[in-house]
Amino acid sequence: MLIWSSTEPSPRRALDRSRIVAAAITLADAGDPVTMKAVAAALGDYTPMALYRYVGSKDGLVDLMLDEVAGEVPVPSPGEDWRADLSDVAVETRRMITRHPWVPRLFHTRPPAGPNLMRHVEFKLSVLVRAGATVVAAMTYAAMIDRHVLGTGLQEEIEGGPVDPSVFGEIHTLAATRDVPLFTSWLAAPTGPSLAEQFELGLGFLLDGIAKHLAPS
């Protein structure tokens, strides 16, 4: 049973669902494993079993964590510019992910059944349907944008930041001995857009593609 189908029990010993979720998010933000034992210890003198009364299971806790941080992303009313609407939410979601880099690893492991996540889905569908998409197409386009946002966040977490510039010099030396002249010329003075600029460039490409498939207004 999903956590959203259960009623939160009355607080006991100052313990409640919001405190448990906040403690779990703090652990995750610090890069620590989020186990029931670790969360209970972070809260004080509690046992892991005490937490299950409030979150049901580890999956329930993950659902609550994902929905809580999704609530940090503003969901405005759809405006006249569908591209701006979707772009703004995507950029704000990326900012949220920089604060909570664990989100991309967990997001697609759980259904978007929480109230905040459902509001996000409904917003994207409303924007795209108003722009001329069918509901089925809108779901597809929204999922593509989510994959771009979450995939970028996951890649950046795995890579752990920009590559050490000194590495390019060594690769340039190796490339110069092989038949890769264009790559070698770039390595001589490696430049390009920042990670944030690459994200916005990719988002723009996605929105351009979606625009070509929207029904004329």
Report which DSSP code applies to 93: H
Render each residue's pLDDT in the chain as its tens digit; 217 residues.
789 988 887 776 778 999 999 999 999 999 999 999 999 999 998 999 999 999 999 999 999 999 999 999 999 888 899 999 999 999 999 999 999 999 999 998 888 899 999 999 999 999 999 999 999 999 999 999 999 999 999 988 887 766 677 788 889 999 999 999 999 999 998 888 988 899 999 999 999 999 999 966 5
- Residue 188 phi, psi dihedral angles, 5° rounding: -65, -30
Q: What is the helix, strand, coil percentage profile of the chain, to 5?
A: 70, 0, 30
Spatial CB neighbours of 35, under 8 Å, sequence gap ≥ 6: 48, 58
Contact 128, 145 (CB under 8 A): no
Residue 212 CA to residue 114 CA, distance in Å, equals 32
User: In angstroms, rounded to a whole number, what is the distance separating the alpha carbons of residues 212 and 217?
Assistant: 12
Predicted TM-score of the model (pTM): 0.88
Quickly tell me which residue has 């070698």 as its tokens: 184
Domains 3-70 and 82-213 fall in the same CATH topology: no
Domain spans of the chain, in order of start: 3-70, 82-213
Residue of 93, 96, 100 lying closest to 62 (CA atoms)? 100
pLDDT at 92: 97
CATH class of 3-70: mainly alpha
What is the CATH T-level fold of the domain 82-213, as seen in this structure? Tetracycline Repressor; domain 2 (1.10.357)
Task: Round the CA-based radius of gyration of the chain to a whole number and report it.
Answer: 22
Query: Which residue type is seen at 44?
Result: G
